[in-house]
A and B are shown apart, each in its own frame.
Chain A
Amino acid sequence: MKHDSHAYAVASRDIVFESFDGEAVVLNLANGKYFGFSDSGSKAWQALSSGVDAQALIGLAAGGSTIGQAELEHFISQLLELGLLVRSEATAQPLPGELPAGLAATNEPLNVSIHDDLADLIVVDPIHEVEEPLGWPAVKQAS
């Protein structure tokens, strides 16, 4: 990993999640975006969002393969970019005893999919986003 801390935390109180038969679904309450995790991704999400040492996941069997450093870094960078996780200065938690067996029983690689078809599409900024041809207030598409 390229930073000193190997611990992460849920990015904000607007990130809520539930588990369905071991598979996680995450909702960002602030923008209405949903995220679905693969079976191994769900295990990794539950560990990372609980502050488990990320390094401890490397080399564990998951999804019919072994979690490599590059694969884990890519997965974590996705979660950071999506605003689901933030780096934590807290002391990393040890790997839960049942996690290796749980990961070994998974069938899919680490993955998170985004479901934003019905996310909040507009941000209205009537003071700073006046577009004369459209009248006032203007409604702009969120970038």
Chain B
Amino acid sequence: MPRVTLETLPDYARYVIAAAEGAASRYPTTRKVRLPWLELTAHLGHGVLADALSHAFVEAVHDQPEPSACRIFIAHPGIDGIPEPARWGDAHFTEHGFAKRLAEAGLRGHYFHDLDFWQVYDPQRRVGVQLMASADAFPPWEPGAPLRVFLHWEYAARGMRLTHAGTLGAGGKGILLAGSGGAGKSGTVAAGLLNGLDSVGDDYVLIDLAGGVTARPLFSTLKQDAHGFARLGLQQRLTAQGPLNWQGKHTFHIEGIAPRPVPMMLDIVALVVPHISGGGASSIMPMSRRDAMIALAPSGIAQMPGERESGFRFFSDLTRLLPCYRLSLGTQPREIASTIEDFLTRGAW
């Protein structure tokens, strides 16, 4: 099995892309997904990932006559012409060093050691490859937000950003909910949706800073742990439930609990950092931009390979463009949603 080092990494990435493209006619199936300014075509085999690509996205209504086309090959040696994935062969590996080396060659990439799972992308040609050891050798989080790193690289190249944040909105205006896992983002989004508010996502949304801060949907998947699922009454509402995800959480789709079709965009008017207060009533109070930035940026940058400095600058600009608030979460979903709706509709920001 070949080994890849920092020195040979760009050559290996180009080799993988060439091999995957060379086998283009031999992938069992194709999925097309319409996303903001982008039409993604994935070439892959049947199975879990193909199903995920059919259901995990909020499809965009194109607001441009000709969206850019992006091709992703989900490859493994079971497809004729696809080599076995190489292993990392250097004495040392750092995510940042790996990404920097590829960026110097105009490429993007990520490597998950446990599975010899490679993702490489050429942003100039908009061609990417996800190379796996076998058809099902992907990390357990992949089906929930499939191909997210490719979208991260593609949108970052356009000055936009996949942002690890939740959203809630009313009347086209929205808030961005920032914070690491466990801060209460997903529960707040679900509480809002169940009580009449809109959302364009609870985990990863597309943020654009051109002409103000806007958020657009990409992924339709929402998730809740067992406690939140019961507290929100989702057990009764969502009768057809699949297996728990890799985190032991229930997963479902935004359309299943949204009061109306998912809006194609929210104008973001505030950056809000939720925290579970344990108190009775929710409240929204101003907070410093420094603290809001530290709540927003780390998870968004740590969970996305490469583009660290551009991400830091992007999230800094985003934070400076918005007023920042701390949301102390009460215990009642209806009361939480009402507090946010009141904040949005009275224009208090």
List residues of chain B with CB within 8 A of the CB of A117.
Answer: 180, 298
List residues of chain A with CB within 8 A of the CB of B88.
Answer: 124, 126, 137
Q: Which residue of A lies closest to B288 (CB)?
A: A23
Q: Which residue of B lies closest to A29 (CB)?
A: B308
- Is the C-beta of B319 less than 8 angstroms from some C-beta in chain A? yes
State whether B113 touches A139 (Cβ < 8 A).
Answer: yes
Q: Which of B93-101, B202-210, B239-247, B248-256 contacts A (4 or more CB under 8 A)?
A: B93-101
List residues of chain A with CB within 8 A of the CB of B95.
Answer: 32, 120
A20 and B289 contact, Cβ closer than 8 Å, known pairs A30-B96, A126-B88 = yes
Cα distance A17–B316 in the bound complex, in angstroms: 9
State whether A119 touches B288 (Cβ < 8 A).
Answer: no
Instruction: Give min CB distance, A33 to chain B, whole Å.
Output: 9
List residues of chain B with CB within 8 A of the CB of A24.
Answer: 290
Cα distance A23–B113 in the bound complex, in angstroms: 38
Q: Give B274-301 as 1s and 0s: 1 = Cβ < 8 Å from A's Cβ atoms.
A: 0000000000000011110110011101
What 7 new A-B contacts, CB under 8 Å, besides A16-B312, A32-B95?
A16-B309, A20-B319, A25-B297, A37-B290, A118-B303, A120-B95, A137-B88
State whether B94 touches A30 (Cβ < 8 A).
Answer: yes
- Is the C-beta of B302 less than 8 angstroms from some C-beta in chain A? yes
- Is the C-beta of A99 less than 8 angstroms from some C-beta in chain B? no
Cα distance A125–B316 in the bound complex, in angstroms: 34
- Is the C-beta of A127 less than 8 angstroms from some C-beta in chain B? yes
Q: Which residues of A are in contact with B by a Cβ distance under 8 Å?
A: 14, 16, 18, 20-21, 23-25, 27, 29-32, 34, 36-37, 115, 117-120, 123-128, 137, 139
List residues of chain B with CB within 8 A of the CB of A21.
Answer: 288-290
- Is the C-beta of B31 less than 8 angstroms from some C-beta in chain A? no
State whether A34 touches B316 (Cβ < 8 A).
Answer: no
Interface of B is mostly: helix
- Is the C-beta of B91 less than 8 angstroms from some C-beta in chain A? yes
Instruction: Give min CB distance, B184 to chain A, whole Å.
Output: 16
The 7 closest A-B pairs by CB, nearest first: A20-B289, A23-B290, A118-B302, A18-B316, A124-B93, A118-B298, A20-B290
List residues of chain A with CB within 8 A of the CB of B312.
Answer: 16, 18, 27, 29
* Contacts between chains A and B (CB distance < 8 A), count: 90
Partner of B299, one of A20, A36, A118, A125: A118
A125 and B294 contact, Cβ closer than 8 Å, known pairs A119-B302, A139-B113 = no
State whether B289 touches A115 (Cβ < 8 A).
Answer: no
Q: Which residue of B lies closest to A32 (CB)?
A: B302
Q: Which residue of A lies closest to B289 (CB)?
A: A20
- Is the C-beta of B89 less than 8 angstroms from some C-beta in chain A? yes
List residues of chain A with CB within 8 A of the CB of B308.
Answer: 27, 29, 32
Cα distance A126–B293 in the bound complex, in angstroms: 35
List residues of chain B with CB within 8 A of the CB of A32.
Answer: 95-96, 298, 301-302, 308
- Is the C-beta of B62 less than 8 angstroms from some C-beta in chain A? no
- Is the C-beta of B87 less than 8 angstroms from some C-beta in chain A? yes
State whether B293 touches A20 (Cβ < 8 A).
Answer: yes
A36 and B91 contact, Cβ closer than 8 Å, known pairs A29-B96, A118-B302 = no
Q: Give B39-64 as 1s and 0s: 1 = Cβ < 8 Å from A's Cβ atoms.
A: 00000000000000000000000000
State whether B288 touches A137 (Cβ < 8 A).
Answer: no
- Is the C-beta of B231 less than 8 angstroms from some C-beta in chain A? no
Cα distance A18–B103 in the bound complex, in angstroms: 23
List residues of chain A with CB within 8 A of the CB of B297.
Answer: 25, 27, 34
State whether B316 touches A20 (Cβ < 8 A).
Answer: yes
21 contacts between A and B (CB under 8 A): A24-B290, A25-B293, A27-B301, A27-B312, A29-B96, A30-B94, A31-B94, A32-B301, A36-B291, A117-B180, A118-B303, A120-B95, A124-B88, A125-B91, A125-B93, A126-B87, A126-B88, A126-B113, A127-B89, A128-B91, A137-B87
Cα distance A21–B180 in the bound complex, in angstroms: 23
State whether A20 touches B298 (Cβ < 8 A).
Answer: no
- Is the C-beta of B260 less than 8 angstroms from some C-beta in chain A? no
Q: Which residue of A lies closest to B100 (CB)?
A: A29
Instruction: Give min CB distance, B221 to chain A, whole Å.
Output: 21
Cα distance A128–B92 in the bound complex, in angstroms: 9
Chain B 254-274 residues near chain A, CB threshold 8 A: none
